[in-house]
């Protein structure tokens, strides 16, 4: 998995502090921004968190590029509705040798890894055969509609890829760019860094948290699963490793302090 922080709102912490201060101040916007020092911004953000005034953090967004993850992961990621996504399309991109993600528990067992690899090869072969099988009749369809041979072939290829891709598995590698504002990202980190989250999206959430905390140490200093700040809400499904989780995030906080 490769995760990059591609872009974020410049001077985000100052911007949020100024936006929040505006609610309680007679000053104009320009003056508030100009007078906002790093220390003042930091103090203001801590105060906002304490009183639960969280809407000003929505002014700042972060954009991440993610590669080398499965469609299983992105299916879970896009359930987070307060975000923007752009994902590589299987309708337009022909996968001549599709890449796939193998779960660690399968990689470490040679027999299981072999079953997995064979299954991927079979699906690649089925995809190739389906594309080949669909192309002539799709081309014919467009020729009958009066398209030139070149245009008919191009359109037929797209239609064929679109249908053949149905055989691809959840393991199929994909690439996605997503943008979230800080409020939405904090929610994502809370849910998906929990030990109850699925291993792959948890890996993504931990990396996203690390990068976000590097860019905005104050905003993300308390981010993490719910058990950092109270009892575990998972009931009998709890991982029971609250102390370990707290120690891990405390170490991260120190690294970004
Ligand atoms: C451990 C775990 C297991 C899961 N298992 C399953 C599963 O088995 N099946 C499954 O389908 N999903 C599952 N999910 C996904 C989960 O149900 C959510 O869809 C996902 O976590 C996104 O959360 P969200 O809706 O809070 O986030 P967002 O979509 O980002 O929304 C953020 C917040 O905005 C508010 N909001 C957004 N849209 C609405 C709306 N339409 N109406 C009212 N308020 C809204 C809510 O307060 C919401 O919490 C699982 C998630 C986790 C973390």
For ligand 1, atom 26, which residue shows the shortest CA distance? 80
Q: Which of 71, 11, 67, 73 is nearest to 42 (CA)?
A: 11
User: Would you say residue 111 has pLDDT above 90?
Assistant: yes
Fold topology of 2-87+173-224: Gyrase A; domain 2 (3.30.1360)
Looking at residue 131, its pLDDT comes to 95
Looking at residue 200, its pLDDT comes to 98
User: Would you say residue 159 has pLDDT above 80?
Assistant: yes
Query: How far apart, in whole angstroms, are the C-alpha atoms of residue 226 and residue 232?
Result: 7
Contact 161, 143 (CB under 8 A): no
Query: How far apart, in whole angstroms, are the C-alpha atoms of residue 121 and residue 171?
Result: 12
When pLDDT is cut at 50, 70 and 90, the band that residue 24 belongs to is confident
Query: How far apart, in whole angstroms, are the C-alpha atoms of residue 212 and residue 204?
Result: 12
**What residues are annotated to the active site?**
192
**pTM of the predicted structure, to 2 decimals:** 0.92
Q: Which atom of ligand 1 is nearest to the CA of 197?
A: 1
Looking at residue 96, its pLDDT comes to 80
* Cβ contacts of 235 within 8 Å, gap of 6 or more: none
Contact 70, 76 (CB under 8 A): no
In the sheet with 84-87, reading across from the earlier edge strand, the strands are 2-8, 61-70, 173-181, 84-87
H helix intervals, 68-148 = 71-77, 104-107, 110-144
Question: Which tokens belong to 242?
Answer: 């609250």
Q: Where are the domains of the chain?
A: 2-87+173-224, 105-167
* Residue bearing tokens 């499965």: 70
When pLDDT is cut at 50, 70 and 90, the band that residue 36 belongs to is confident
Q: Taking the CB of residue 197, how many other CB atoms lie within 10 A of it?
A: 17
For ligand 1, atom 19, which residue shows the shortest CA distance? 79
Mutational test site, ligand 1, from 61, 75, 80, 227, max ligand atoms within 8 Å of CB: 80
| Percent of the chain scoring above 70 in pLDDT | 100
CA separation, residue 41 to residues 37, 218, 242 (Å)? 6, 9, 31
């Amino acid at each position: 998995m490769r995760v990059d922080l591609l872009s974020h709102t410049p001077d985000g912490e100052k911007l949020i502090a100024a936006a929040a201060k505006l609610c309680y101040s007679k000053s104009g916007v320009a003056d508030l921004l100009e007078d906002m020092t790093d220390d003042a911004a930091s103090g203001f953000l801590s105060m906002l968190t304490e009183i639960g005034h969280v809407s000003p953090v929505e002014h700042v967004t972060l954009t991440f590029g993610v590669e080398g993850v499965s469609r299983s992961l992105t299916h879970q990621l896009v359930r987070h509705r307060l975000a923007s996504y752009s994902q590589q399309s299987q309708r337009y991109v022909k996968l001549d040798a599709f890449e796939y993600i193998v779960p660690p528990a399968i990689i470490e067992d040679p027999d299981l890894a072999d079953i997995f690899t064979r299954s991927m090869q079979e699906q690649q072969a089925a995809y190739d055969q389906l594309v080949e099988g669909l192309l002539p009749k799709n081309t014919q369809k467009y020729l009958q509609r009066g398209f030139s041979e070149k245009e008919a072939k191009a359109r037929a290829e797209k239609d064929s890829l679109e249908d053949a891709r149905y055989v691809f598995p959840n393991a199929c590698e994909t690439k996605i760019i997503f943008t979230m504002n800080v409020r939405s990202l904090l929610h994502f980190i809370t849910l998906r860094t929990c030990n109850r989250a699925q291993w792959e999206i948890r890996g993504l959430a931990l990396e996203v948290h690390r990068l976000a905390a590097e860019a905005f140490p104050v905003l993300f200093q308390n981010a993490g699963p719910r058990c950092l700040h109270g009892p575990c809400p998972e009931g009998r499904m709890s991982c029971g490793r609250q102390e370990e989780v707290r120690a891990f995030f405390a170490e991260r906080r120190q690294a970004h302090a």
